[in-house]
A and B are shown apart, each in its own frame.
Chain A
């Protein structure tokens, strides 16, 4: 029994010595196995206890557990010490170049018209307008006749039209949906129609045969022209995130009466006058007016009870102003050098 006790004492002393030399976690693990594992001396010693007498067993067992606990403590302390050391050295041992480009998809770019359209749609949606999308090809009735422009009407000249061989129209404005929208529900009707339109005109930096238009209609009891000005002003204030002046000047569109143009205080010079606004301080932005009674009648809406307004503006113009884009033909060029900037 004495022998065993001495062995245990010796084991712990030599362990203490051995521990001092250990300088990394891996070696400490090996040490743990060597000094406490199944094949360790300590285990051997403990196995030999079974040969002792009962009283001795108790004594030695107690001592052995004490040694084992001590050993575990020592190893744990050492571990803590090693880890502390390691952490303090991390800066040297685990440095990486944090500026190297990351891995994964390089994000793509959404077309500026998509972005602008979504932005404007969201504002109108918040104002209670439903979003409706137009056809690309529509019939004469929806593009012209239902909008108080019967066949042969001289105003049709203002819309240089592409005709398909089937005598359909490449829509010249998104007002092509107006009759359908007015027919589809009962007032109050609030809807916007953003979409692709076509005009048969020669292209240059300012003109494009394919472009995006944003049409809107509002029909209810008691709607007035001043409501229209207020609504459009509210939209532009939200769109440009500041208070802007708007003004209404007369113009002629067969589907509105009174009809006109809404101009916006020049967003670049804030109304002082600059090259872009031709030194007028105003930008002509959209055509609008009170929906003509004939248009309401055509859609089966009682024009004596209800009034409404409608407007339409081109999206490209706003985008060009925002980013200072000089050539409208870039929008449909498919040129990635353009798209990748947005």
Chain B
């Protein structure tokens, strides 16, 4: 939001602070001033002049020699603009004056000094300026033609110079009153303790004639107040130069005096207004009502819009004239021919106004103000001020009564305020006098101040006053709101940091967090890099990995098609990142831990959002052992996490036919009765879908399930006194026999003296050969035997090993 310092000074005649100081204080006490723009800084010696005569330039066809009166004297000025004509009023820069350099960019602020010099052989006593030379707009096609009512000889330098504050209005969502110069000025009056000058009540103007106009307000709830007046015999023309400059300085394009006047009070007081062309109102009746579902209106921006029943409009008996509080319609637009206007100043309910603007996708200055909740009290005063201004700049006579439909006037809110709340909430001491002074400057009336003790006493009941809140401060409802007012005007910078008193107890640890940190640390130590990818995903990334998006939750308003769903697995996101990463690295070992979203619902109605972990191992080129690499990491991780009773079940042996996974090189991982993970190479078709020339193995863990089976504490058994005996046993079995089966078979019938059995080595010979002999593999087991009562004889350990061999022979035809 842009705020002009000149404009503010209308309300603050005694404010002499530098713009920088004002900006700093506003930032500290209200909302951040993002920048200060100095309009016309550096300009000198500019005056309003009138072109009296245009003569030919003796040496150039394109140039003219103009006689211009600038109030001081007639000047001969060479002009090259195509739009110069006799009688027009212009801005003249006298010799030694300074303007902006039109050959540079507008915002470069590069200045250019004018001297009396010869232009194509003829002396020019100054220059007629374009908008660009004055720093107003990029327009440099011709000179700037001022409105006819501009005053010749007026010092233009004084008129144009201003400081414009750009204020971050996000922090003012709750302050509709501050979307105006009047509101900001009131704040500054409190901040700098400088008098706030209210606009003088003007002598009321009375109707001199009466035209017909009926108003029917059908929805009080959405239109709490509707004020209007008819003015006739207005002359539509450009606004005077001071008003045009005001509007342009805060970024509003001047249109004509009537439209400009409505805009002016919107910016001045925060009350948007609207002017209708009276002649275009059918049956001379305005109806404020909800639109019908099939109604349409062509709005002032030239767009035809479909309306709905939720939208409130101003219409005549035949057609919709405007979308109330948002934008006007073309059909009743003010034109050069307009003679009579209906000036509307109404109050529109904020929530509906916001919904309307959003559903239609229109952002207007009016909507920005109404959706914050404007004060209904404003409509009358803004209309009164506007009538005066319009009669000044457009002439005309009042042609109706002052129409004002206002069934439920807002009342000033009263708050009982305990001055101790300041200390209680802020933790600082602010004196009674200071508090009362701040409240006064903010327009808040205090009743009962004289009864307050001279010095505030904590825990006393006698520190209460009654506050009357002005109607424009709808944000002040409770004690805390008042405390904030005091704090920000008093100055937050004066608050000294303190610490809350608390017991020395340690915070309860989040076990899930500790577990995840352990997993992450372990995986990074095992060589995996952690990446983050979006929770959003698109149809394409799922198609690539052979999964449909059926199980995914859809986003109503995605940023892009590739972000239309919430993922239910991390794998598709990671697989999509492989092409890029394999370009840069020969080997990619990555992981991520994140929530995913499922269609299943939790008890509270929200989607199930389990924390999942994905690991992806990829290499350029074919690596037959990539599964082993992944499993190696999984084995090590599970050992560190103390997860026992593991079982890997090849999906070849199950009904799982998820087409993401390789049908014979993928397994579910179980710990006891809990399924904790899935590991496997991705299906070859996925690799080709992704355009990869490489090997990829992925692992998916459900972190919460994993945590359940991860034993936090190790278990201890006393170290035995007798030396353990270690034996190796090598057998030949068919290649298809899984070592896990063999180990299970052994464990089922194991001798109680066996403390540990593990695979020492597997030798597969030439797996490519199809001969029968080569379809076997040799497996070497290491068997640890732990005697505990007495040392074992060789024969006894041999017997144990033999038992194992017998089992293997019987079950797997081991040799």
Chain A positions near chain B (C-beta within 8 angstroms): 105-111, 113-114, 118, 121, 125-133, 135-139, 152-155, 157-158, 162-166, 168, 170, 188, 190, 196, 198, 200-203, 209-210, 218, 220, 222-227, 229-231, 233-234, 246-252, 254, 257-261, 290, 292-293, 307, 331-332, 334-337, 339-340
Contacts and interface: CB of A to CB of B under 8 A. Distances in A.
List 4 A-B pairs, minimum CB-CB distance, nearest first.
Answer: A224-B427, A258-B484, A226-B427, A230-B497
B341 to A, nearest CB: 31
Given A129-B507, A307-B424, A162 B170 contact: no
Contacts of B589: 108
A249 B553 contact: no
A211 B166 CA distance: 28
B581 A110 contact: no
B606 A137 contact: yes
12 contacts: A131-B509, A136-B597, A162-B557, A201-B559, A226-B498, A246-B497, A250-B29, A252-B174, A258-B425, A335-B580, A336-B584, A340-B529
B500 A135 contact: no
Contacts of A136: 535, 566, 595, 597, 609
B513 interface: yes
B136 interface: no
Given A129-B507, A259-B484, 14 more contacts: A109-B524, A111-B532, A128-B505, A153-B351, A163-B556, A168-B607, A201-B559, A225-B425, A225-B495, A226-B426, A252-B175, A258-B480, A334-B533, A335-B581
A257 B484 contact: yes
Given A257-B480, A336-B584, A162 B555 contact: yes
A103 to B, nearest CB: 13
Contacts of B483: 257-258
Please classify the interface of chain A as helix (H, G, I), strand (E, B), loop, or mixed, using the class held by over half of its residues: mixed
Nearest to A161: B557
Contacts of B478: 257, 293
A313 B710 CA distance: 34
A339 B529 contact: yes
Contacts of A336: 529, 531, 581, 584-585, 588, 590
Contacts of B556: 162-165
A249 B32 contact: yes
Contacts of A210: 534-536
Interface of B: 27-32, 170-175, 350-351, 354-355, 371-373, 424-428, 478, 480-481, 483-484, 487-488, 492-493, 495-503, 505-510, 512-513, 517, 520-521, 523-536, 553-559, 563, 566, 573-574, 577, 580-581, 584-585, 588-590, 594-595, 597, 604-607, 609
A75 B626 CA distance: 56
B425 A337 contact: no
A39 to B, nearest CB: 28
Contacts of A339: 529-531
Contact of B173 (A200, A231, A252): A252
Contacts, number: 251
Of B172, B424, B488, B500, most buried by chain A (CB within 10 Å of CB) is: B500
A124 to B, nearest CB: 8
Nearest to A332: B532
Contacts of B27: 249
Contact of B30 (A155, A250, A254): A250
Contacts of A258: 425-426, 480, 483-484, 487-488
B46 to A, nearest CB: 32
Nearest to A336: B581
B427 A110 contact: no
A298 B96 CA distance: 69
A226 B170 contact: no
Given A165-B553, A332-B532, A336-B588, A224 B174 contact: no
B488 A250 contact: yes
B566 A111 contact: no
B30 A110 contact: no
Contacts of B604: 139
A138 B602 CA distance: 11
B354 A224 contact: no
B492 A224 contact: no
A109 B529 CA distance: 5
Contacts of A209: 534, 536, 559, 563
A339 B355 CA distance: 43
Contacts of A246: 497
A290 to B, nearest CB: 6
Given A154-B173, A196-B535, A108 B523 contact: yes
